């Protein structure tokens, strides 16, 4: 659509952005939720500046709805927040509506603007300028390193199975780390790669060294992740059955701006541990929410299982609820809900302390 500039700065407008790797498509709606114009902009700081200037040319910009603020829209999110613009993250549109209306970038930008205008399919985006963002990128790096280390070990095991006897026999009774260090210490003749046995030794030595490098990389990342968790929420890891990995994931779910949650029940819903109605006819019952962030649901389950095994109070609670006629699965659901409340309170208290320190400095 063309640039239809109103020139009336008293007009309140809402923007919407469909984000991509190289180009963002923006749209603007007026006070009656009518599309005024749409335009494409480069995903650079200069492009962000041009987009904001273009949107403001139609009137007073009240808010902007952006898709994918955690990936392609992360840079635009930071820029608009620094400019003092209210930003809403627009979630995926209704599939049936998309099938009826079709899909292209201009339509998606308009839909984002409509959603931001109406306040539907929108959430407060996570800020990505604090230590939680540092924690996120380190955890992503650690996860991929673990996957690569697992692949290296699988390759080592598969190659040993089919290796010649003179290569395989000395390796049979070694433990995992003995095997890895033995392979990494090999010094095969690299000029003999045309022969089968030396080629196997070269491959195994390379994989052994790769495994050790990844092992050291993961250990270094663990130290940094633990340091961030200790600084962000030391009380969290001091609680029973909460380790650094589970604490880190729960902090990532909350984000740097955990005040975006209206209450602990909204945090529980995000973690997928809030009860929802599952009644029908004369049967009145609830079930656990199967939505939310499944990556956050997993650590809550791990904590619940750990406390069932080690915490006397939890064991007594489980025994009492089972005696009342509840299944163990239902009891674990309840435990996860209680743990979500406990985690939320800890994160919120720590967030208040961090904000107070920031104000005082």
| 71 in a structural domain | yes
User: Long-range contacts: 99-108, Cβ < 8 Å, 24+?
Assistant: 105/18, 105/20, 105/25, 105/40, 106/1, 106/18, 106/25, 106/27, 106/38, 108/18, 108/25, 108/67
The torsion region of residue 30 among left (phi > 0), alpha (psi -120 to 50) and beta comes to beta
Are both 179 and 227 inside the same structural domain?
A: yes
Average pLDDT of span 243-259: 89
Average pLDDT of span 307-325: 95
Are both 114 and 51 inside the same structural domain?
A: yes
Query: In angstroms, what CA-CA distances link 31 with 12, 15, 62, 131, 186?
Result: 6, 11, 10, 38, 72
| 224 in a structural domain | yes
Are both 150 and 111 inside the same structural domain?
A: no
Are both 93 and 143 inside the same structural domain?
A: no
* Residue 66 near residue 17 (C-beta atoms within 8 A): yes
Q: Which two tokens stand for residue 215?
A: 């092992």
pLDDT, position 3:
44
Average pLDDT of span 269-284: 75
Tens-place pLDDT, residues 73-89:
999 999 999 999 999 99
Total number of residues shown for the chain: 361
Average pLDDT of span 131-150: 96
| 101 in a structural domain | yes
Are both 154 and 136 inside the same structural domain?
A: yes
| 180 in a structural domain | yes
Expressed in percent and rounded to 5, the helix, strand and coil fractions of the chain are 60, 10, 25
Residue 44 has pLDDT above 60, yes or no: yes
Are both 245 and 192 inside the same structural domain?
A: no
Using CA atoms of 305, 306, 307, 312 in order, give the dihedral in degrees to the nearest 10. Answer: 110
| 296 in a structural domain | yes
Q: How many domains does the chain have?
A: 3
* Residue 115 near residue 121 (C-beta atoms within 8 A): yes
pLDDT, position 145:
98
Are both 244 and 356 inside the same structural domain?
A: yes
Residue 5 has pLDDT above 60, yes or no: no
- Pairing, β 60-67 against β 23-29: unpaired
Are both 25 and 80 inside the same structural domain?
A: yes
pTM: 0.81
Question: How far apart are the two ends of the chain, measured CA to CA in Å?
Answer: 48
pLDDT, position 359:
63
Average pLDDT of span 299-305: 96
Are both 148 and 98 inside the same structural domain?
A: no
Q: Which two tokens stand for residue 144?
A: 């991929």
* pLDDT band at 124; cut points 50, 70, 90: confident
| 7 in a structural domain | no
| 5 in a structural domain | no
Q: Which two tokens stand for residue 223?
A: 């130290």
Are both 290 and 337 inside the same structural domain?
A: yes
The CATH number for 39's domain is: 3.30.420.10
Domain with 174 in it: 131-232
Are both 31 and 114 inside the same structural domain?
A: yes
Q: How many helices (H) and strands (E) does the chain have?
A: 14, 8
Pick the last residue of a domain from 123, 155, 184.
123
Are both 172 and 206 inside the same structural domain?
A: yes
| 2 in a structural domain | no
Average pLDDT of span 2-30: 82
Pick the last residue of a domain from 206, 232, 258.
232
86 strand-pairing partners: 63
Pick the last residue of a domain from 72, 91, 123.
123
Average pLDDT of span 47-72: 95
């Amino acid at each position: 659509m063309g640039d239809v500039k109103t020139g009336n700065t008293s007009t309140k407008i809402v923007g919407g952005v469909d984000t991509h790797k190289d180009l963002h498509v923006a749209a603007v709606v007026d006070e009656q939720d009518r599309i005024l114009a749409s335009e494409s902009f480069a995903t650079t700081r200069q492009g962000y500046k041009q987009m904001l200037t273009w949107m403001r040319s139609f009137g007073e910009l009240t808010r902007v709805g952006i898709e994918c603020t955690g990936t392609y829209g992360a840079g635009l999110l930071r820029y608009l927040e620094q400019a003092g613009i209210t930003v809403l993250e627009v979630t995926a549109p209704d599939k049936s509506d998309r099938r009826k209306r079709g899909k292209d970038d201009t339509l998606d930008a308009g839909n984002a603007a409509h959603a931001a205008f109406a306040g539907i399919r929108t959430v407060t985006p996570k800020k990505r300028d604090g230590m939680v963002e540092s924690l996120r990128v380190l955890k992503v790096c650690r996860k991929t390193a673990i996957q690569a280390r697992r692949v290296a070990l699988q390759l080592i095991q598969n190659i040993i199975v089919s290796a010649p006897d003179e290569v395989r026999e000395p390796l049979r009774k070694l433990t995992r780390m003995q095997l890895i260090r033995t392979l990494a210490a090999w010094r095969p003749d690299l000029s003999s790669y045309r022969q089968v046995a030396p080629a196997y030794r070269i491959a195994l030595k390379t994989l052994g060294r790769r495994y050790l490098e990844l092992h050291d990389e993961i250990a270094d990342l663990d130290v940094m992740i633990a340091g961030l968790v200790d600084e962000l929420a030391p009380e969290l890891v001091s609680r029973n059955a909460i380790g650094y990995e589970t604490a880190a994931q729960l902090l990532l779910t909350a984000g740097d701006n955990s005040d975006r949650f209206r209450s602990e029940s909204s945090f529980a819903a995000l973690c997928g541990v809030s009860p929802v109605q599952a009644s029908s006819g004369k049967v009145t019952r609830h079930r656990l929410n199967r939505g939310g962030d499944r990556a956050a649901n997993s650590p809550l389950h791990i904590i619940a299982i750990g406390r069932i095994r080690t915490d006397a109070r939890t064991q007594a609670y489980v025994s009492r609820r089972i005696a009342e006629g509840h299944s163990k699965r239902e009891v674990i659901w309840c435990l996860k809900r209680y743990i979500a409340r406990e985690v939320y309170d800890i994160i919120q208290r720590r967030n208040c302390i961090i904000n107070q320190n920031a104000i005082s400095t």
